[in-house]
Structure 1
Amino acid sequence: MNFELKTLSLSAAARHKCDLLAVLVPEKFEERDGAIGALAVRARSAGDLEDKPGKCLQAYAPEGVAARQVVLASCGDGSPQAVRKAVLGLAQALKAPAVRRAALVFAAAPQKGAVDAALRAAADAAYVYRATRSKPEGRDLQMLTMAVPTAGAVQAEFSRAQAVAAGVEFAREWANRPANHATPTLLGEAAKSLAKLQGIRCTVRGPQDVAKLGMGAFMAVAQGSAEPLRFIELRYDGGAKGDAPLVLVGKGITFDTGGISLKPAPEMDEMKFDMGGAASVLGVFRALADLRPAVNVVGLIPACENMPDGRALKPGDVVTSMSGQTIEVLNTDAEGRLVLCDALTYAGRFKPAAIVDMATLTGACVIALGGLRSGLFSTDDALAAELQGAGEVALDPCWRMPLDEEYGEGLKSNFADVANVGGRPAGAVTAAKFLQRFVGDTPWAHLDIAGTAWKGGQAKGATGRPVALLLRWLSDRAAASASADAAPKQRKRSPKG
């Protein structure tokens, strides 16, 4: 879908030719500007259009309006959160087969962040997965016009939102693909395709390269699969040469059976989403090519399948990680932390300013936070605050969880340096404590996205989270660095003689 930004008053919007004209109406709206303004005021006065965000009122070919269909959508107080709810409420209308060109009109001047929220929500609402369908169903929305009273005031926000939406869609597309259409090899090819974009470099390593690096934990997970592993490294050099990079690490288990500790059959198909962290890294780099922030970024993806054949890792096996630490594998279904620990050790080679990993790691995090917020664990208070703040602004929220030393007691082993699981209590925390052992003193954060990377049931599909959160954090880091560089340096005064 393509987007365009236009300056349109409500009177001008009434003359705009399109299949669907969706108007975002804030609470207490009283401006009778042309046919649309009058219609909105009458609908609110009659109580047919409630002020609650997401409430809609449809009209077909109303008099004085060029569009075939008009939908009035309440956006409450006009905040980005309310606007997002309003636009998501338009999903069915945006996906209608007859709608090829649509316009999304702000009845009043948008608040800061509202255009960003509206565009990304529209992209989410209109997204349709088609990669493995034999025949496309219906017709895609081809053009969405964003109409505001003054386009120049929100042009930068609009352009940024386009880039973020493209990154989120790239992540969703790869996470949604069935495991036989998103093998580690194909994930590597997807990463290589990003290297065709401006400023992106890519290196993909195979089993022999990984063996030379000594990634024994990663290799152990992959050994039960016929699909060869891939270790993907992406680079974006937007900052000054020599500036310490920010490293993103994404869990890339392209299908997780649980291995010998086999998962139950119901809903096992959803384990194709176990590479949601990897998909997020790909999505971030897709957007970085357009956003071009002044920051250096490294993306690392350890990609493999977790399968239960005769060569597979067994409960009780002890493996040696790249760090040299030995790990007793008590549960082969706790494989994500095994591939991540070697990638985190490798990340240290870049002497990074910070490391952030994201992984569909634990069911325990789903129980704790549900599907609203990702779990955030960090060894650094400032980094945690940055990520949590970025998530709030990006409408991709997370919540900080504890990392008390006592939680690590359950990972003790009689036969290795550490076990890969503790008991059932605080499972998301003990998983994070395991990962913490492999990051040293580098500021580090772990995002457990098991509850947020995809949805099940009728709405089954990837969400593309936490791409928006990560891009906001990277942009904030770039802005903070630019501000620090621009700050005037105090000159030393010579003592008076």
Structure 2
Amino acid sequence: MDFELKTLSLAAAAGEKCDALILLVGESFKPGKDALSRLAAEAIKARDLEPKPGKLLQAYRAPGIAAARVVLAGAGDGSGKRVHAAVQAAVGALRSNSVKRLVICLAPEAQADAVRAAVTATAESSYVYVATKSKPEGRELQRVTVAVADAGRHAQAFAAARAAAEGIEFARELGNLPPNVATPTRLGEEARKLAKRHGFQCEVMGPREIAKHKMGSFLAVAKGSEQEPRFIVLRHQGAAASEPPVVLVGKGITFDSGGISIKPSQDMDEMKFDMGGAASVLGTFRALGEVKPALNVIGVIPSCENMPDGRSVKPGDIVTSMSGQTIEVLNTDAEGRLILCDALTYAERFKPAAVVDIATLTGACVIALGGVRSGMFASDDELAADLLAAGDAALDPCWRMPLDDEYGEGLKSNFADAANVAGRAGGSITAAKFLQRFAGNYPWAHLDIAGTAWKGGPAKGSTGRPVGLLVQFLLGRQGTAPAKTAAKRAPAKTAARARGKASR
């Protein structure tokens, strides 16, 4: 889909040749003398339209308006959140029509958040998966013009939103592919394509290279599958080589059967979405390739399947991680943390300014937060604040969860340095505490996206989250003072939330 930002008054927009036009009508709407204003003013006066988000009124072949279809959409206070809801509803209402060219008119006073919301909501609402259908019903919408009072003022926000939308769609497409297509090998191929297209550095390691790095925990999960594992490293060099990078680590379990601790059969097909963290890292790099921010970013993706086999890791097995720590595997369905721990150790070599891992890690996080906010755990208060702010700005919110040392008590083992699971209580927190054991040498955050990476039921499919959050977070780090390395900056502690180092 092709987006463009254009300076247009409502009078000029009324003359734009397009299949459909969406006019956002907020609480502060002040009608002029043009045809669009008259149409909206008459609808409000007749109480056929309320300026509340989600309220719509459609018109066909309205006098003085070039667009065949017009949708008046209530936009409330005009904030990004309200605009997102309004555009989502309006685009959804047009999906059954053959709309190829669309114009969206924002209020003259619209801010950057409204521009971002209009772009992302349009992309999200018009997405159609067709990759594996024999008779695909393709997406009709081809060109979208976002009309504002001053395009120059919003150019930067628009460019970032357009890039984020492409990244989100890329992540959704990868997540929606079936597991016999989206294998670890395929993820490696997609990373190489991104590198070639955007000038990234890329390395894709196979079993032999992974073994040389002594990633025993990762390989323990991978050995039960016929699909070979891949360890993917992508690098965007947007700043001086001396500047410490931000490292994104994405869980890439392309299908999770649970292994020997096999899952129930109901909804097991949704375990193709267990590579949502990997998809979000690749989607973020797709966006970075468009905006090319002035900072260094490294993506690390451990990818494999978790399958039951005679070679599979068993409950009671003890594996040795890349860090040298031994792990008692009590539940083979807690495999994500077993591949992430080696990736977190590997990330140390980059002397990172910060490391953020993204994973569909625990069902417990779904119980805690549902599908609205991703769970966020952090060893560093400043990093946590940046992620929270980025999520709110991108309408891809997260919520900070605790990391008190006491939560790690359940991970103690009589036979290894740690067990891979604790009790049922606080499952998302104990999983984060396990990962924290391997992330003590740099500012670290963990995003548990088990509730937000995909939807089930009739709307089943990948959401592309948290690409929006990650892109906003990374762009927000441009132009800041050089980040301190882990050696100079210890994880912060607060009185409200005890952090500390995880017990070894």
TM-score scaled by structure 1?
Answer: 0.95
What one-letter code is carried by the residue in structure 2 that aligns with 1:294?
A: A
Partner residue, 1:135: 135
Output one character per residue of 1:114-171: Cα deviation in whole Å (capped at 9) or x when no partner.
Answer: 1111111101111111111112215421111111122222122111111111111111
What one-letter code is carried by the residue in structure 2 that aligns with 1:364?
A: A
> 1:251 touches 1:278 (CA, 8 Å); kept in 2?
yes
Partner residue, 1:70: 70
Regions of 4+ moved over 2 Å: 91-97, 481-484
What one-letter code is carried by the residue in structure 1 that aligns with 2:73?
A: A
> 2:244 touches 2:483 (CA, 8 Å); kept in 1?
no
> 2:98 touches 2:140 (CA, 8 Å); kept in 1?
no
Task: Label 1:440 to 1:139 Cα distance change in 2 as closer, same or farther (>3 A).
Answer: closer
Partner residue, 2:237: 237
1:331 aligns with 2:326: no
Task: Label 1:472 to 1:448 Cα distance change in 2 as closer, same or farther (>3 A).
Answer: same
Output one character per residue of 1:19-67: Cα deviation in whole Å (capped at 9) or x when no partner.
Answer: 1111111114231331110111111122111121121101111111111
In the TM superposition, residue 333 of structure 1 has moved relative to its aligned partner by 0.4
* Uncovered stretches (5+) of structure 1, i.e. residues with no partner: 485-497
Provide the C-alpha distance between the structure 1 equivalents of 2:482 and 2:155, rounded to a whole number of angstroms: 21
Partner residue, 2:215: 215
The alignment's C-alpha RMSD in Å is 1.4
Q: How does 1:2-151 map to 2 (within 5 A)?
A: 2-151=2-151
Provide the C-alpha distance between the structure 2 equivalents of 1:119 and 1:332, rounded to a whole number of angstroms: 41
Aligned length: 484
> 1:323 touches 1:342 (CA, 8 Å); kept in 2?
yes
Partner residue, 1:407: 407
> 1:247 touches 1:298 (CA, 8 Å); kept in 2?
yes
Q: How does 1:175-194 map to 2 (within 5 A)?
A: 175-194=175-194
Task: Label 1:401 to 1:105 Cα distance change in 2 as closer, same or farther (>3 A).
Answer: same
In the TM superposition, residue 94 of structure 1 has moved relative to its aligned partner by 4.0
What one-letter code is carried by the residue in structure 1 that aligns with 2:261?
A: S
What one-letter code is carried by the residue in structure 2 that aligns with 1:89?
A: A
Task: Label 1:113 to 1:55 Cα distance change in 2 as closer, same or farther (>3 A).
Answer: same
Provide the C-alpha distance between the structure 1 equivalents of 2:183 and 2:483, rounded to a whole number of angstroms: 42
Output one character per residue of 1:394-433: Cα deviation in whole Å (capped at 9) or x when no partner.
Answer: 1111110000000000001111110000011000000000
> 1:94 touches 1:126 (CA, 8 Å); kept in 2?
no
> 1:19 touches 1:99 (CA, 8 Å); kept in 2?
yes
> 1:3 touches 1:146 (CA, 8 Å); kept in 2?
yes
Task: Label 1:387 to 1:330 Cα distance change in 2 as closer, same or farther (>3 A).
Answer: same
In the TM superposition, residue 473 of structure 1 has moved relative to its aligned partner by 1.2
> 1:84 touches 1:117 (CA, 8 Å); kept in 2?
yes
> 1:256 touches 1:305 (CA, 8 Å); kept in 2?
yes
Q: How does 1:401-440 map to 2 (within 5 A)?
A: 401-440=401-440
Partner residue, 2:361: 361
In the TM superposition, residue 478 of structure 1 has moved relative to its aligned partner by 1.4
What one-letter code is carried by the residue in structure 2 that aligns with 1:380?
A: D
Provide the C-alpha distance between the structure 2 equivalents of 1:210 and 1:177, rounded to a whole number of angstroms: 26
In the TM superposition, residue 439 of structure 1 has moved relative to its aligned partner by 1.1
Provide the C-alpha distance between the structure 2 equivalents of 1:102 and 1:422, rounded to a whole number of angstroms: 52
> 1:26 touches 1:108 (CA, 8 Å); kept in 2?
no
What one-letter code is carried by the residue in structure 1 that aligns with 2:320?
A: T
Task: Label 1:404 to 1:483 Cα distance change in 2 as closer, same or farther (>3 A).
Answer: closer
1:295 aligns with 2:288: no
Partner residue, 2:350: 350
Provide the C-alpha distance between the structure 2 equivalents of 1:340 and 1:119, rounded to a whole number of angstroms: 33
Partner residue, 1:269: 269
Question: What is the percent sequence identity of the aligned residues?
Answer: 64
> 1:390 touches 1:473 (CA, 8 Å); kept in 2?
yes
Output one character per residue of 1:315-340: Cα deviation in whole Å (capped at 9) or x when no partner.
Answer: 11111111111111100000000000
Provide the C-alpha distance between the structure 2 equivalents of 1:61 and 1:195, rounded to a whole number of angstroms: 47
SS of the residue 1:316 aligns to: coil
Deviates more, 1:343-352 or 1:23-32: 23-32
Provide the C-alpha distance between the structure 2 equivalents of 1:482 and 1:226, rounded to a whole number of angstroms: 44
> 1:369 touches 1:375 (CA, 8 Å); kept in 2?
yes
Provide the C-alpha distance between the structure 1 equivalents of 2:259 and 2:5, rounded to a whole number of angstroms: 50
> 2:348 touches 2:441 (CA, 8 Å); kept in 1?
no
SS of the residue 1:5 aligns to: strand
In the TM superposition, residue 107 of structure 1 has moved relative to its aligned partner by 4.0
Provide the C-alpha distance between the structure 1 equivalents of 2:333 and 2:82, rounded to a whole number of angstroms: 39
Task: Label 1:339 to 1:139 Cα distance change in 2 as closer, same or farther (>3 A).
Answer: closer
Deviates more, 1:317-326 or 1:94-103: 94-103
> 1:374 touches 1:398 (CA, 8 Å); kept in 2?
yes
Partner residue, 2:494: none
In the TM superposition, residue 2 of structure 1 has moved relative to its aligned partner by 0.6
Provide the C-alpha distance between the structure 1 equivalents of 2:371 and 2:400, rounded to a whole number of angstroms: 15
In the TM superposition, residue 482 of structure 1 has moved relative to its aligned partner by 7.8
> 2:276 touches 2:359 (CA, 8 Å); kept in 1?
yes
Provide the C-alpha distance between the structure 2 equivalents of 1:381 and 1:390, rounded to a whole number of angstroms: 14
> 2:362 touches 2:427 (CA, 8 Å); kept in 1?
yes
Provide the C-alpha distance between the structure 2 equivalents of 1:296 and 1:248, rounded to a whole number of angstroms: 11
SS of the residue 1:376 aligns to: strand
> 1:94 touches 1:141 (CA, 8 Å); kept in 2?
no
Provide the C-alpha distance between the structure 2 equivalents of 1:292 and 1:255, rounded to a whole number of angstroms: 32
Provide the C-alpha distance between the structure 2 equivalents of 1:214 and 1:164, rounded to a whole number of angstroms: 36
Partner residue, 1:468: 468
Partner residue, 1:390: 390
In the TM superposition, residue 295 of structure 1 has moved relative to its aligned partner by 0.8
Provide the C-alpha distance between the structure 1 equivalents of 2:130 and 2:354, rounded to a whole number of angstroms: 37
In the TM superposition, residue 225 of structure 1 has moved relative to its aligned partner by 0.3
* Uncovered stretches (5+) of structure 2, i.e. residues with no partner: 485-504
